[in-house]
């Protein structure tokens, strides 16, 4: 048997072990946004480091940042002139609220109908374990065709605010020929997917302050401007009737879609009906003049992620709230700059804020959008690898999500990321009841084994 | 000494005891809106019943309703042909959140600088104890000039939804010549106040439903209508640029202000600066074309009392929320009908709701506005009593708050309520750090003693 065949064989004999590893990792509640989970973040980083050592990675360390730590690893093969694949991942996960909507415990993974349920099972602890399992197979069964490096961070879900610290000061550690980033997903279990574009992100918290304490709405209703109403009016003005965002200059830097790209995107096998099923909405919505695929991948959007004001308990309480808060974020496309969007939002608020209230705008970490070169050797190797496993050519897609680190790594390391992954649209990532489709995940491990050999230029018979 | 003088003397000798009684009553967290406080509601009712017995009320009972119980009491004096005063009160209080803004424990009353701090100290446990203290004084020091009845309910802060049950079935118990309702307040410590108008209330909870679970805003931003944005747009449309409410037909039934009444209201000694001080806002707001006094007392208003949607924790979470909720209420004026307002809101929502979402509107208890006859003998007696204590004629005011029970009692018992009270605008009722100004409260007790004698037609020398 060839080295590749041995590695494939190894994977097929070890699915149970890989699943157990994933279960252990999902059990760690490594929520990055909440200070309460500081210890769990550390545990997850240490778990990853131990795992790297266990699968045969020669050098590992935990790199400290001003935020959560980054796990580093390096494996040098005995093969001469082997290229280096840097595998990116994040061990942190999204918060779990609203907890009452989960049907299982988010950090007690449960397998039902070929699916593993748990926060992070798909995004992206499952993808980390898939990658490390493929690496384990090629290392343990012969001479690996490639060198490996690892950069597994703990702040992706909060916008990777501190990753640049290690990228800037220790860029030499991460030298590579290609970055594999399995944090993207597939459009269906039968259609392997390569993502060549990602949206950027800008995230804000807006607070409107009215009276200095909650007021009796009978005594003061009619003389005090209600901050919840002011906030609603401001949010209301951020889109026009056609779903177009009204912040001044918002579209000035947006790279428009070429006719060629619009044509290609129109052939993607994702229907409006698919999205209705995944989301449960009765009707889609969005910017007039663009298809549903263009609107998620290639056009910027603005969403309210949270609202809070006044009395939210059961029953009635007749107050005029002292303040009202909204979390507001924008998904950005090439060539928008999150800092420019920040300025546009400030300008919009300044121009539209009534003089009856005061306000505060907090900015959270964001990032620019990215577009990959689809003729990169890594992309070509990945296309072959996915085709080998699925028996069909992968499709190329622009993704609506944001992975700011892709642009960060391009900037600091000068390398391109190739984006794939084995999660599915129905995985409920960032939502209650997140899950991972295990049969697809297993195929993904096999595809990654193929990828390593394809990227090294080894053919089936070598 | 006359009976009246004896009673006045009794009050002056017993301030400390009256205060202790109030402290004990404020300690009971009788929040009516929350099912958690069921037991405390019962304790408060029992405390009032015990207190009635202690001050000499001959007959007391707790009347059950489908909601919280009503405390009844009756005292018949030996004086022949004495008129009957029915004293109304409510032993329930508003919720205490946001708890973190209280500087003392809401249910551990603290006295500082002549003020008692605690939830209900002003609204209206303080007013109940003031009334019962005055009653105690006239009963304990001689032959009371009037008969007393009591109706102390536990649901005023949630709109008195079940009081009508006892009013309907046991109206005969509550037969009276005048109802004294001390649930209104004064405009300043030096200006005794008689309230002759109250606003009504309509209260709703609106919920907008989008996707069937919180979605990843990257994957679905641009195709799914954000329910928090839909809610904001709906709220935004409820007022026009002039602060006028846009619900269809909202002003059709509004009784407009007469020139005479506008002239009288314009002489009330409440300035815009007073309101800015009480609320901490930098600028007032409201319906164009009406003064600040007219807008709170005589014009209907619409407020958002609470907002909730999506992620409200610290930091960032990139979700499109599954739903968004607003508590929305209107203060009504004569002759608006809360049920008509309900229909107007439904019509507005039906006409303006996008087809991308679904919605639910819940209605809470409300009530109609009321206006009193200012030539009622009870009003005249109260005017004299207040003048005797403060040395100045009371002012007549239309109040912005709502006491639906005033209209209910008019309907079921056929009697008018006279509205007064010894709370002040700066008491923070319904807000954190509610407080009661004790010197004003003590004067109030004395004024009520005078009122009982004045109403019975007994002059100083009798």
- At A250-282, the pLDDT tens digits run 999 999 999 988 998 898 889 999 999 999 999
Whether residue B404 lies inside any domain: the answer is yes
- Is residue B399 very low, low, confident or very high in pLDDT (cuts 50, 70, 90)? confident
Q: Are residues A31 and A176 in the same domain?
A: yes
Nearest CA in chain A to B295: A222
Asked if residue B271 belongs to a domain, the reply is: no
* Min distance B427 CA to chain A CA atoms (Å): 11
Question: Is residue B50 included in any domain, yes or no?
Answer: yes
Q: Please say if the pLDDT value at position A326 is more than 70.
A: yes
Domain limit, last residue, from B364, B395, B419: B364
In the sheet where A358-367 sits, what is the strand order?
A358-367, A200-209, A323-332, A301-310, B301-310, B323-332, B200-209, B358-367
Closest chain A C-alpha to B8 CA, distance in angstroms: 32
What are the C-alpha distances in Å from B435 to residues A311, B119, B120, B441?
20, 8, 8, 11
Q: Do residue B245 and residue B333 come from a single domain? A: yes
Q: What is the structure's pLDDT at B458? A: 64
pLDDT for A109: 98
Tokens standing for B149? Answer: 């009845």
For residue B171, is pLDDT > 60? Answer: yes
Residues in A 352-371 with any Cβ partner in B closer than 8 A? 354-358, 364-365
Q: Quote the DSSP letter at residue B256.
A: P
Which one of B330, B345, B364 terminates a domain?
B364
**A291 located within any domain:** no
Do residues B107 and B222 share a domain? no
Q: Is residue B282 part of a domain?
A: no
Q: Which of A33, A199, A281, A397 is the best residue to mutate to test the B interface, defined by the most B CB atoms within 10 Å of its own CB?
A: A281
Looking at residue A152, what is its pLDDT? 98
Other beta carbons less than 10 A from residue A66's beta carbon: 7
The C-alpha atoms of residue A171 and residue A179 are separated, in whole angstroms, by 13
Average pLDDT over residues B60-68: 97
pLDDT at A458: 65
Nearest-Cα residue of chain A relative to residue B155: A316
| DSSP, residue by residue, A76-87 | --SSTT--EEEE
**pLDDT: is B150 or B219 the higher one?**
B150
Q: What is the mean pLDDT of residues B121-131?
A: 98
The tokens for B410 are 């008019």
Q: Is A429 on the interface with B (CB under 8 A)?
A: yes
Q: If you average pLDDT over residues A429-455, what whole number do you get? A: 97
Q: Are residues B242 and B309 in the same domain?
A: yes
Facing residue for A299 by CB, picked from B101, B222, B365: B222
* A389 lies within 8 A of chain B by CB: no
Calculate helix-pair angle for A38-55, A15-26, nearest 10 degrees.
160
Contact at CB, B229 and A218, closer than 8 angstroms: no
CATH number for position B191: 3.40.630.10
Q: Is B419's Cβ below 8 Å from some Cβ in A?
A: no
Are residues A117 and A237 located together in one domain of the fold? no
Q: Does B229 touch chain A (CB under 8 A)?
A: yes
> Between A212, A229, A292, which is nearest B279 by CB?
A212
Three-class secondary structure of residue B36 per DSSP: helix
Task: State the sign of the Cα–Cα–Cα–Cα dihedral A291, A296, A298, A304.
Answer: positive
Tell me the chain A residues in contact with residue B213 when contact means C-beta distances shorter than 8 Å: 101, 280, 428, 431-433
List the single range of A78-82, B222-226, B277-281, B365-369 with lowest mean pLDDT. B365-369
Q: Which of A296, A304, A316 sits opposite B229 (nearest CB)?
A: A304
CB neighbourhood size of A428 (10 A): 24
Q: What is the mean pLDDT of residues B95-117?
A: 96
pLDDT band at A283 (very low <50, low <70, confident <90, very high): very high
Cβ neighbours of B31 (radius 10 Å): 27
Task: Work out the minimum CA distance from B243 to partner chain A, whole angstroms.
Answer: 9
Mean pLDDT of chain B: 95
Are B28 and B107 within one domain? yes
- Contact across the interface for B216 and A401, Cβ inside 8 Å: yes
Query: In chain A, which residue's Cα lies nearest the Cα of B158?
Result: A316
Q: Exposed, middle or buried, B358 (CB in 10 Å: 0-12/13-18/19+)? A: middle
Q: How many domains does chain A have?
A: 2
DSSP structure string for A200-224? EEEEEEEEEE-SSS-EEHHHHTTTS
Q: Which two tokens stand for residue A157?
A: 């879900």
* Contacts with A399 from chain B: Cβ below 8 Å: 218-219
CA distance A232 to chain B (A): 4
Is the preceding peptide bond at B446 cis, omega within 30 degrees of 0? no
- Respond yes or no on whether ipTM tops 0.90: no
A262 domain-assigned: no
Do A237 and A333 have their domain in common? yes
Position A266 in a domain: no
How far is B150 from A462, CA to CA, in rounded Å? 98
Q: What is the pLDDT of residue B460?
A: 47
Owner of token pair 């080295």 = A3
The DSSP annotation for A302-359 comes to: EEEEEEEEE--SSS---EE-SEEEEEEEEEE-TT--HHHHHHHHHHHHHHH--TT-EE
**B281 reaches A (C-beta below 8 A):** yes
With 60 as the cut, is the pLDDT of residue A167 above it? Answer: yes
Closest Cα partner for A118 from A438, A402, A449?
A438
Whether chain A has a CB inside 8 Å of the CB on B171: the answer is no
Residue of B nearest to A366 (CA): B316
Q: A358-367 and A200-209: which strand pairing?
A: antiparallel
Where among A366, A387, A420 does a domain terminate? A366
| Residue B411: pLDDT band with limits 50, 70, 90 | confident
Residues near A243 by beta carbon (within 8 Å), at least 6 away in sequence: A285, A286, A287, A288
Distance between CA atoms of A213 and A224, rounded to whole angstroms?
Answer: 12
What is the bridge-based pairing of β-strands B319-320 and B115-117?
Answer: unpaired
CA atoms within 13 A on the CB side of A17: 14
Instruction: Using an 8 Å CB-CB cutoff, list chain B residues near A217.
Output: 301, 303, 305, 329, 331, 430
In whole angstroms, what separates CA A11 from the centre of its chain? 26
With CB atoms and an 8 Å threshold, state whether A223 touches B325: no
Q: What is the mean pLDDT of chain A?
A: 95
Of B111, B131, B27, which Cα lies nearest the Cα of B438? B111
Looking at the complex, report in whole angstroms how far the Cα of residue A117 sits from the nearest Cα belonging to chain B: 16
CA distances from A67 to A87, A201, A307, A354 (A): 21, 19, 27, 38
Name the residue with higher pLDDT: B372 or A342.
A342
What's the pLDDT score for residue A462? 41
Q: How confident is the model at residue B462 (pLDDT cuts 50, 70, 90)?
A: very low
Average of per-residue pLDDT across B183-203: 93
| CA-to-CA dists, residue A2 to A37, B207, B267, angstroms | 45, 62, 99
Question: Phi, psi (5° rounding) for residue A323?
Answer: -155, 165
Span B8-22, mean pLDDT? 98
Task: Examine the domain organization and report whether A138 and A228 are in the same domain.
Answer: no
Structural domain harbouring B139: 3-198+369-455
**Contact A33/B219, CB-based, under 8 Å?**
no
Q: What is the pLDDT of residue B208?
A: 98
Residues A229 and A259: their CA atoms lie apart, in Å, by 42
A370 Cα to chain B: minimum distance (Å): 14
**Bigger pLDDT: B159 vs B329:** B329
User: Does residue B461 register a pLDDT over 80?
Assistant: no
User: What CATH number is given to the structural domain containing A354?
Assistant: 3.30.70.360
- Residue A123's pLDDT is 97
Q: Decide: helix, strand or coil at residue A245.
A: strand
Contact A103/B at CB under 8 A: no
Distance CA A348, CA A341 (A): 10
Residue B379 has, within 13 A of its CA and on its CB side, a CA count of 19
| Same domain (yes/no): A61, A93 | yes
User: Using CA atoms in the order A198, A202, A205, A206, what is the torsion angle rounded to 10 degrees?
Assistant: -130
Contacts of B350 (CB under 8 A, 6+ apart): none
Residue A223 and residue A139 share a domain: no
Q: Is there a single domain that holds both residue A325 and residue A213?
A: yes
Cβ-proximal residues to A64 (8 Å cutoff; 6+ apart), any chain: none
Give me the sign of the Cα torsion angle B216, B217, B222, B227: positive
Nearest to B384 by CA among B459, B442, B438: B459
Q: Specify if B181 maps to a domain.
A: yes
Q: Which of A32, A94, A201, A223 to mutate to test the interface with B (most CBs of B within 10 A)?
A: A223
B31 DSSP assignment: B
Question: What's the pLDDT tens digit per position in A399-422?
Answer: 888 888 888 898 899 998 999 999
**Chain A residue with the nearest C-alpha to that of B185:** A219
What confidence score (pLDDT) does residue B107 get?
A: 98
Work out the pLDDT band at A53, boundaries 50, 70, 90.
Answer: very high
Q: State the pLDDT at residue B401.
A: 86
Residues of A within 8 A of B225 (CB-CB) are 281, 283, 285
**% of chain A at pLDDT higher than 90:** 86
A392 and A434: one domain? yes
Alpha-carbon separation of residue A118 from A429, B137, B378 (angstroms): 10, 68, 69
């Amino acid at each position: 048997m060839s080295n590749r065949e041995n590695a494939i064989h190894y994977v097929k004999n070890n699915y149970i072990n890989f699943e157990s590893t994933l279960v252990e990792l999902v059990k760690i509640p490594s929520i990055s946004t909440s200070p309460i989970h500081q210890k769990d973040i550390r545990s997850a980083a240490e778990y990853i480091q131990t795992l790297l050592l266990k699968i045969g990675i020669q050098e590992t360390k935990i790199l400290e940042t001003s935020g959560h730590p980054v796990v580093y690893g390096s494996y040098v093969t005995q093969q001469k002139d082997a290229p280096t694949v840097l595998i990116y991942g994040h061990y942190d996960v999204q918060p779990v609220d609203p907890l009452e909507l989960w049907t299982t415990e988010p950090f007690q993974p449960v397998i039902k109908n070929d699916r593993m349920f748990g926060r992070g099972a798909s995004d992206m602890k499952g993808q980390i374990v898939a990658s490390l399992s493929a690496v384990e197979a090629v290392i343990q069964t012969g001479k690996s065709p490639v060198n490996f490096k690892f950069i597994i961070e703990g702040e992706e879900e909060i916008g990777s605010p501190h990753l640049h610290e290690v990228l800037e000061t220790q860029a030499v550690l991460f030298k590579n020929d290609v970055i594999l980033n399995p944090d993207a997903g597939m459009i269906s279990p039968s259609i392997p997917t390569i993502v060549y574009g990602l949206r950027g992100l800008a995230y804000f918290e807006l607070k409107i302050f009215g009276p200095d304490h909650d007021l009796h709405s009978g005594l003061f209703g009619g003389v005090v401007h209600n901050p919840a109403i002011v906030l609603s009016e401001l949010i209301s003005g951020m889109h026009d009737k056609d779903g177009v965002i009204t912040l001044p200059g918002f579209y000035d830097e947006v790279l428009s879609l070429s006719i060629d790209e619009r044509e290609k995107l129109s052939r993607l096998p994702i229907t409006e009906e698919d999205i209705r099923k995944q989301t449960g909405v009765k009707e889609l919505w969005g910017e007039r003049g663009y298809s549903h695929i263009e609107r998620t991948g290639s056009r910027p959007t603005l969403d309210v992620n949270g609202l809070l004001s006044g009395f939210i308990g059961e029953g009635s309480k007749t107050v005029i709230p002292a303040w009202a808060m909204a979390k507001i974020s924008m998904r950005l496309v090439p060539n928008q700059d999150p800092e420019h969007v920040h300025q546009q939002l400030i300008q919009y608020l300044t121009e539209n804020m009534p003089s009856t209230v005061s306000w505060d705008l907090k900015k959270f970490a964001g990032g620019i959008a990215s577009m990959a070169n689809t003729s990169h050797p890594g992309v070509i190797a990945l296309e072959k690898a996915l085709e080998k496993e699925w028996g069909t050519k992968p499709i190329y897609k622009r993704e609506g999500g944001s992975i700011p680190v892709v642009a960060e790594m391009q900037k600091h390391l000068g390398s391109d990321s190739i984006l794939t992954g084995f999660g599915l649209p129905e995985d409920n990532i960032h939502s209650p009841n997140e899950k991972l489709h295990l049969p697809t995940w297993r195929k993904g491990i096999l595809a990654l084994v193929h990828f390593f050999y394809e990227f090294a230029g080894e053919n089936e018979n070598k």
